[in-house]
Chain A
Amino acid sequence: QEQLVESGGDLVKPGGSLRLSCTASGFTFSDYFISWIRQAPGKGLEFVSYISGGGNTIYYADSVEGRFTISRDNAKNSASLQMNSLRAEDTAVYYCARGPFSVDGLGSWGQGTLVTVSS
Chain B
Amino acid sequence: KAGVTQTPRYLIKTRGQQVTLSCSPISGHRSVSWYQQTPGQGLQFLFEYFSETQRNKGNFPGRFSGRQFSNSRSEMNVSTLELGDSALYLCASSPYSGTDEYFGPGTRLTVT
The yes or no verdict on A and B being binding partners is no
Interface residues of B, Cβ cutoff 8 Å to A: none
Interface residues of A, Cβ cutoff 8 Å to B: none
